[in-house]
């Protein structure tokens, strides 16, 4: 069965620090990959997505992610975090043969100290 694993449950950083959140998935076929963010009290919002092409994907608010097929990974990065990036981040996978179904990781809570 497909699964998504996020390495860190809770990450604490100071403002201006660099961020990298790990995400690995288990599925041998073609996948679409997503990162979602959930700010406190708000709904899930799409940060970025990868379907095909350039494995380095740029999203909103300065986030980017790199798809490494050989490692089944899709790590999220940001060179300099801000206090407003405090939120929960979810990696998700959609397999091409499963319609629109998303498999989510367990989430990583990011706390940025001012």
Partner 1 sequence: EAGVAQSPRYKIIEKRQSVAFWCNPISGHATLYWYQQILGQGPKLLIQFQNNGVVDDSQLPKDRFSAERLKGVDSTLKIQPAKLEDSAVYLCASSLDLGEPYGYTFGSGTRLTVV
Q: Would you tell me which residues interact with partner 1 (CB under 8 A)?
A: 4, 32, 34, 42-46, 49, 51, 90, 92, 94, 98-107
2 or 17, CB closer to partner 1?
Answer: 2
Distance CA 97, CA 94 (A): 9
Output the smallest distance, CB 112 to partner 1, in A: 20
Distance CA 103, CA 37 (A): 15
29 or 99, CB closer to partner 1?
Answer: 99
Distance CA 106, CA 97 (A): 23
1: which residues sit within 8 A by CB, 6+ positions away?
none
19 or 34, CB closer to partner 1?
Answer: 34
Output the smallest distance, CB 49 to partner 1, in A: 5
Output the smallest distance, CB 4 to partner 1, in A: 7
Confirm if 110 and 88 have CB atoms less than 8 A apart.
yes
């Amino acid at each position: 069965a497909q699964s998504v694993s996020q390495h860190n449950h809770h990450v604490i950083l100071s403002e201006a620090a660099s961020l990298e959140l790990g995400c690995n998935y288990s599925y041998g076929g073609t996948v679409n990959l997503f990162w979602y963010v959930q700010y406190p009290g708000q709904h899930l919002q799409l940060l970025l997505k990868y379907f095909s092409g350039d494995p380095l994907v740029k999203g909103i608010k300065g986030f980017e992610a790199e798809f490494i097929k050989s490692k089944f990974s899709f790590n999220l990065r940001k060179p300099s975090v801000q206090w407003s990036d405090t939120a929960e981040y979810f990696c998700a996978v959609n397999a091409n043969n499963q319609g629109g179904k998303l498999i989510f990781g367990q989430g990583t809570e990011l706390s940025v100290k001012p």
